[in-house]
Amino acid sequence: MHDFIRNTALSLGFDSCGIAKAEALTEDAEFMRSWLDTGQHGDMEYLNRNFEKRIDPTVLVPGCKSVVVVLMNYYPLQKQSNDLPQISKYAYSKIDYHTVLKTKLGQLETILTQEYGDEIISKEYQHSFVDTAPILEKRWAEKAGLGWIGKHTQLITPKLGSYVFIGILLLNEEVKPAETRVPFRCGTCTRCIDACPTQALNGRSLDATKCISYLTLEIKSDIPDDLKQKLSGWIAGCDICNDVCPWNIRFGTPNQHEEFAPAEAIFSLTKDDWQNMKKEEFDVIFGKSAVKRAKLERIQSRWNADNADNAD
């Protein structure tokens, strides 16, 4: 069954696939509780909800016995020039990656039920996930033998680097894992820690309240003054820690997925273009992409606030 699942996943366009036994993540539970208690999640209160489900897939989906993890490379062929307002590479594509991975996971699910019967998939609970549910995707990818969690807190997979999307499919069938765990291979490297303008990384965890991705996408209040000038041109997400990672520099290969074709406008939109953009234009360009999470009003209001501060 393991080989059938893996080969099917690869045939559908996933770049990697691994399987882990479903079980409680005891160590992660202790770490996450401490991380939450110290407020490092900031305004992301959803991380406080469904704690038991988040750290144990057998609670999230009763009857779950195996965690299938799939990866898709999203490293782009073309990158923005540094003088433009910066958008994280995960949001380059015209189609939101959630849509792409969920569609492929649905195809994988259909094939597996045809092969092994409907009982392999829970009918009562959601069982496939792409970055929108209480499940620790990166840890499960690590347990499935697909890579390790680096000092920048991202999954690093040896042949692809860390520019990968993660999808999860929970099965009500015990599938013997064939992969072995990949050891931690960051060594003494601290490039990601040293490069972070806001010092959000410490080599063991991430203080989300200092992370540029959080500050441009998640924060509900105003960006603190001491961090406002450290955004380094980013308006939606941030790739600094990934860009300097030697595993990406060495193994970052442009993806071959047509679904991740970029919205060409991101390679030409200047700050003035963004400031003068109307919502209708924004919706036409980014209506189906992950950029929409950044919200045009949020981007423009921050610049307007900066201009007001400078005027004072």
Please give the positions annotated as active site.
131
Task: Describe the strand order of the beta sheet including 16-21 as a list of residue ranges.
Answer: 16-21, 66-73, 164-171, 128-129
Question: CA–CA separation, 113 vs 171, rounded Å?
Answer: 10
- Structure tokens, 162: 């860390």
DSSP 198: T
Closest CA to 169 of 140, 200, 196: 140
The tokens for 203 are 């080599």
Q: In angstroms, rounded to a whole number, what is the distance separating the alpha carbons of residues 184 and 150?
A: 7
CB 209 within 8 Å of CB 40: yes
Is-contact 257 13, C-beta < 8 A?
A: yes
User: Would the CA dihedral through 86, 293, 215, 240 be positive or negative?
Assistant: negative
Give the other-Cβ count within 10 Å of 123's Cβ. 8
C-beta of residue 248 within 8 angstroms of C-beta of residue 75: yes
